[in-house]
Structure 1
Amino acid sequence: PQALVDDTEDVSLDFGNEEELAFRKAKIRHPLATFFHLFFRVSAILTYVCCDWFSRSFVGCFVTVLVLLSLDFWSVKNVTGRLMVGLRWWNQIDEDGKSHWIFEARKVSPNNIAATEAEARIFWLGLIICPMIWIVFFFSTLFSLKLKWLALVIAGISLQAANLYGYILCKMGGESDLSKATASFLPQAVFQTACSGDFQKPGLEGLEIHQR
């Protein structure tokens, strides 16, 4: 009888890599941080749009939106970016009055995943879309001549654009020279106030730090 030749190959099944890939795509490891990444900025937008329905006090609405914007700026800059995408930035002024950008990025290793795809997608979508909404508010306020809201809208654009700009530079590793051209357009007071003191203390383990 003719011998049967077994030409099949043993294939090792690496379920660990498949599980890790599925984990990175779907898992949200920091649900609380993910919630507050969107909560403050969405609440500020909804409060601005609906404040006339709930209150006739301009000062009350102005202060409420400004507080929400400030909470959003601090939480995104110091907490959610560090947890959701492993990035952190700050801008400090030296003794000579020069502005320096400092960036932190968590080193990625098999045992230390910087971010899942779901968290990263939520982080960047929230970071990009909300400033665009405030830009729309700026033009609508300007064309409708509701100039009393203009200062609040500009504050919203400045605070959220500052976070977006900082994280874009941080994502690129601080290698872009755009900072010199763009920093002058962002209110210096925002950086000196919001980026000073405790905000400048590193809070990540295993960091790659870049300074310009």
Structure 2
Amino acid sequence: MQFSADFDPSAGGSASRPLKNPGVTFFHLAFRSLALFTYMFGQYFSSSFIGIFVFVVLLLSLDFWTVKNVTGRILVGLRWWNYIDDDGQSRWMFEARNGDSQFYLSKTEISIFWSALIAAPVLWVIFLLFAFFRFNFQWLILVIIGLCLSLSNLLGYLRCRMGRTDNVASTMSGMANAYMRNQVVGNITGLFSGSSRPAGAPTANMGADPHNII
């Protein structure tokens, strides 16, 4: 499969530069790094769980959108997206540039892209185990959101690279979109209404437009 005509393979410039798109590379790392940092150290700066929760979810949402719609197509020449067909069915597409356009990609940026894409879900799995075994169920909800969003992007781009679609990637992507939307809306509502816990969190003692994805 190939990108549509509006994706110019020569937009990146010369292939001889190690980082042809430093700004794009920065934002590929920035939002997920801030989300992870806030999750790990946010309690040292704020005692408000709901504030930390909403801030991390917003960072994860920005990361999900940026990686899905911008950094993937610029840094590695891949894109996954969905659209509604004439029958009202949601169709998931996984695309890759043709071989000739790979000349315009930077090997350094490709390595950074895939390293960050793989590292994020691995870290969220580690946090998931810690939260589960410590019975921190409120934090567990936040970790699940981070894992779903990062894993859905990873699965989507793996399908792009392999050049075919599957139900696993599309299902994960759909779940991530729906879950992220519900959590963001619910927790922002809770923030303004003075709620002390995120929407959907259990009560527990603490100890066809590719750009429209949200």
Q: State the TM-score, normalizing by the size of structure 2.
A: 0.71
2-side partners of 1:192 and 1:61: how far apart?
18
The 10-residue stretch of structure 1 (23-32 or 91-100) with the greater mean CA deviation from structure 2: 91-100
Deviation string for 1:90-110 (max 9, x for gaps)?
134546564422123233437
1-side partners of 2:100 and 2:169: how far apart?
33
Matched, 1:190 2:177: yes
The 10-residue stretch of structure 1 (99-108 or 75-84) with the greater mean CA deviation from structure 2: 99-108
1-side partners of 2:100 and 2:171: how far apart?
37
Higher Cα radius of gyration: 1
Q: Is the 8 A contact 2:31 2:59 kept in 1?
A: yes
Name 1:104's counterpart in structure 2. Answer: 95
Percent of pairs identical after alignment?
Answer: 43
Query: Structure 1 158/25 Cα, relative in aligned 2: closer, same or farther at 3 Å?
Result: farther
Query: Structure 1 44/107 Cα, relative in aligned 2: closer, same or farther at 3 Å?
Result: same
Name 2:211's counterpart in structure 1. Answer: 199
Output aligned runs, 1:44-193, within 5 Å.
44-94=35-85, 98-109=89-100, 113-174=103-164, 179-181=166-168, 183-184=170-171, 188=175, 190=177
Name 2:32's counterpart in structure 1. Answer: 41
Provide the secondary structure at the position in 1 that maps to 2:135: coil
Query: Structure 1 159/183 Cα, relative in aligned 2: closer, same or farther at 3 Å?
Result: same
2-side partners of 1:62 and 1:109: how far apart?
44
Q: Is the 8 A contact 1:89 1:166 kept in 2?
A: yes
Provide the secondary structure at the position in 2 that maps to 1:88: strand
Report deviation, 1:25.
Answer: 7.3
Report deviation, 1:188.
Answer: 3.0
Structure 2 residue runs without a partner (length 5+): 1-13, 182-207
Query: Structure 1 181/61 Cα, relative in aligned 2: closer, same or farther at 3 Å?
Result: closer
Deviation string for 1:31-56 (max 9, x for gaps)?
00001101100110000000110000
1-side partners of 2:149 and 2:60: how far apart?
7
| Aligned residue type for 2:69 | N
Q: Count the aligned residue pairs.
A: 174
Query: Structure 1 116/189 Cα, relative in aligned 2: closer, same or farther at 3 Å?
Result: closer
| Aligned residue type for 1:142 | F
2-side partners of 1:187 and 1:106: how far apart?
24
Q: CA RMSD in A?
A: 2.7
Structure 1 residue runs without a partner (length 5+): 1-22, 202-212
Query: Structure 1 131/51 Cα, relative in aligned 2: closer, same or farther at 3 Å?
Result: same
Deviation string for 1:12-46 (max 9, x for gaps)?
xxxxxxxxxxx757611000000110110011000
2-side partners of 1:163 and 1:200: how far apart?
15
